Amino acid sequence: MMNHEQILGGIYGLLVGDAVGVPYEFHSVNQLPPIEQIDMVPPKGFIRAHPGVPTGTWSDDGAGALCLLNSLIECGKLDLTDFSNKLWAWYSQGLWAVDGKVFDIGIQTQASLQAFRDGISPEQSGNVYPEGKGNGSLMRVLPLALWHQGSDEQLVIDSHTQSLVTHGHLTNQVACALYCLWVREAAKQQSMEDAYQIAVKNLRNIYGNKSPERIELDHTICPEEEPTSNGSGYVVETLRSVRIAVKEADYEQVIKKAISLGEDTDTNAAIAGGLYGVKVGFTGISNRWLTQLRGKDKVDKLIRSW
What would the pLDDT profile of 135-161 be if each residue is shown by its tens digit? Answer: 999 999 999 999 999 999 999 999 999
C-alpha to C-alpha distance for 151 and 89, rounded to whole angstroms: 31
CATH-assigned architecture of domain 4-304:
Orthogonal Bundle (1.10)
Alpha-carbon gap, residue 95 to 233, rounded angstroms: 24
Q: Where are the domains of the chain?
A: 4-304
Q: What is the mean pLDDT of the chain?
A: 97
Q: Give me the residues paired with residue 234 across strands.
A: 134
pLDDT mean over 212-237:
97
Task: Give yes or no for residue 189 having a pLDDT over 90.
Answer: no
**Tens-digit pLDDT profile for residues 64-113:** 999 999 999 999 999 999 999 999 999 999 999 999 999 999 999 999 99
Q: Which of 196, 204, 230, 249 is nearest to 31 (CA)?
A: 230
Task: Give the mean model confidence (pLDDT) for residues 29-41.
Answer: 98
Q: Which residues are annotated as a binding site for Mg(2+)?
A: 59-61, 264, 266-267
Contacts of 232 (CB under 8 A, 6+ apart): 238, 263, 264
State percent of the chain over pLDDT 90. Answer: 99
The secondary structure element, H or E, covering residue 12 is helix 4-21
Query: What is the pLDDT averaged over residues 158-171?
Result: 98
Annotated binding site: 59-61, 264, 266-267
**Residue 85: its pLDDT value, please?**
98
Contact 257, 251 (CB under 8 A): no
**What is the crossing angle of helices 107-117 and 80-93, to 10°?**
110
> Could you tell me the pLDDT band of residue 115, with boundaries at 50, 70 and 90?
very high
Cβ-count burial of 130 within 10 angstroms (0-12 exposed, 13-18 middle, 19+ buried)? exposed
Exposure of 169 in the CB half-sphere (CA atoms within 13 A): 22
Residue 134: phi and psi, rounded to 5, are -75, 175
Contact between 160 and 28 (Cβ < 8 Å): no
pLDDT value at residue 1 = 75
pLDDT score of 182 more than 90: yes
Which pLDDT score, from 0 to 100, does residue 197 have?
97
Amino acid at 267: T
SS3 at position 119: coil
- Residue 221: DSSP 8-state: I
Q: How far apart are CA 263 and CA 25, in angstroms?
A: 5
Q: What are phi and psi of 167, to 5 degrees?
A: -140, 90
Q: What span, in angstroms and rounded, lies between the C-alpha atoms of 93 and 103? A: 12
Do 289 and 20 form a contact (C-beta atoms < 8 A)?
A: yes
**What integer pLDDT is reported at residue 4 of this predicted model?**
96
Amino acid 190: pLDDT: 83
